[in-house]
Structures are given as C-alpha cells and as structure tokens.
Amino acid sequence: MGPLGRPVHDILHIDGAYGEGGGQILRTAVSLAAVKGQPIRIENIRARRRNPGLAAQHLTAVRAVGAICEAEIDGDTLASTELSFAPGGPVRPGIYVFDVAEAREGGSAGSTSLVLQALLLPLALADGPSSAVVRGGTHVRWSPSFHYARDVWLPALGRLGVAAELSLARWGWYPVGQGEIRAEITGRAGPLSAIDIRAPGRLRRVAGRAVAANLPAHIAQRMADRARTMLAAEDIESQIRPRRVRAACAGAGLFLVAEYEHIHAGFTALGERGKPAERVAEEAVAELLDHHRSHAAVDPHLGDQLIVPAAFAAGESRFTVAAATGHMTTMAWLVDRFGLAHVEIDETTVRIRPNA
C-alpha cells in the first residue's frame, strides 16, 4: 500500500523538479487531480527555487483544492518537499473562503491569484455555481496581479467556455498582504470549447491603471504620464488612469492591458523603495512593446494558463506566442502525465490535442 492507504499502482507520481520546477507544477497537479479524481504524489516540490518546498501560498492552494473535493492530504506543512493528495469525491460547488495568512504564523502576502488559479478549473467544471473569497496579496511579485487575472486571464478562459467573474474587495501588497479577491464561478456540464487564436488583430488601445497605495498621489500621476508619453511616441492610443488607494501597507504599480481585436494582453511593473515612478512605467511599457512587435496572439504570461483548460476542450486548440517558455513546456508535460492531451509547441505555435 502507498500513501493514504491507496494501492501504489493507483497513484500518479509527479516529479516537482521537472522543467521550471516551481509552484506551478504543484498547483496544477492538485487541480487536475481534483477534476479527474486521481490520487497523486508529488516529490521534489519547488526543487529549483531558492527556498524549496511549500510556502504559504502553495500550502493554501493545496488545502483549498483539497477542501472542494474532500481530499485526504499528507505532507501539507510549510517547507514540505513531498505531498500526497487523494480526492475524496467529485468537486463540490459551494461557497468557500481561504486566507493565505492562516498558513504561516505572522501572516503572509502570498498571492491570491495563484490560489485562484488552482481552484478555478475544478469549480468551473463542477455541476453548479460557486463563490470563492481568497485573502492575501493581490498585487505582488512573481504572480499575476488581480487586474491581469480579471482583464486578461478570465476573458481568455471565457473563450474556452469558463464562466467566472472576479472583483477586488481590498488591495494587498507585499509584505503585509491582507487584500481580498472574490470570484463567482458558473459550473458547466460537458467539455470546454476549442480555441484558435493565431493573430491578435488590430490593437485598439492600451488601457491601464497607475496605482499608489498609502503613498503621495504624484507617484501614480508620474507613472501614468510616463507610460502615456512612451505609448504616444509609438502612435498607440492609451487611457491610463492614476489612482491613489488605501491598503494595509504601501505599494505601487502600473497595470496595462493591450486590447486587441481578438484577445487582450497584460503587462505589469511594481514599485519598490528607491525605484523612480518613471522606471516602473518604462518597465511595463517596454514589455508591452516587445509583445506588440512580436505579432504573437498570446502574451508571455498567458500561454501556459491556456494549455490546461484547452486539454478539456472538444477538439484541437491552437494559438501563437512570441517564444515558448519553461512554464509552457512544463504544462505540456503535465497534461500528458495525466493522459489528458498531447501538446505540440512548434516555435511560435502551440497546439493542444485532447485525448478524449
């Protein structure tokens, strides 16, 4: 017998060190395990990171997905590098609340959007509607901001048939967090829809928010002014609004959305002590312009997030990217390990062929 009393041959073993070797393998693996009802064991969790093992946001994601399918979990402790996860039944739609701060003494600004990424697909494929509240960091490094999740990620998933709405109740910045996002998710019966997005279409405009939390209003204004100036030099229409907000701690950032005819692309830069507001704007705009000049449909942060839901579609999906990323090749490997789909990444074109 293996972990959690299951026969060893029934457990799918996942090497958490594969590919990019970060938290994405863990979050996606437990998400897919919940959808498929598949017991898994993950080893070498976040082996390629400076601090391997489960951090607060990863622990929260595991427990959150466990809660929606009544999973038996072994190894769900901070810094654990091995985890067993066995769903206790089908995913249950319902009302859920999760707080990243509860996973670590002293709290955490761990990413709310990454926890939501683990929850969304299982709840979207469940047989009824759900509401999920996630508390923690809403605009923090190494994760999609709330605005990226709402304005880029969810619309793209909507093309696949995932129906969800996202709202921001409180802003949460590093290092305190204490932000809150709320998701309303409509479950569906049957497979998702295939997508074909090989060209972004015409760039209609760039919309954005320059935000300063608990900081002088001129910081947000300077980010907005610099971004508008840079985009105007490229003959790109923009509407970037400066905004000063309240939060549990100071923070600043610029959140841009390039609105193309067929898809949105998102770009973020965050402020930090000693970093001029103008430099924050320059970082976000430079990334946007790089993407725009590539003529790819999907931005560098979205490609891996489309592979997994496309594996549940009725038919082949395809989209273009500027270049394959480590996260994309890792997701291609993982959906193959679960027997869901074959993913072909041919230079700038990604094809996902579901097995069922």
Closest CA to 324 of 309, 306, 340: 306
* Residue 131 CB-density burial (10 A; 0-12 exposed, 13-18 middle, 19+ buried): middle
Q: Which residues pair with 41 in a beta bridge?
A: 13, 84
* Residue 232 CB-density burial (10 A; 0-12 exposed, 13-18 middle, 19+ buried): exposed
Sign, Cα dihedral of 91, 92, 98, 103: negative
Residue located via tokens 């609004």: 241
Euclidean distance between the first and final Cα of the chain, in Å? 30
Q: For residue 40, which phi and psi values (nearest 5 degrees)?
A: -135, 160
Q: Reply yes or no on whether 292 is catalytic.
A: no
Catalytic: which of 218, 292, 327, 342? 327
Taking the C-alpha atoms of residue 14 and residue 87, their distance in angstroms, rounded to an integer, is: 16
Residue located via tokens 């590539």: 294
Catalytic residue set = 327
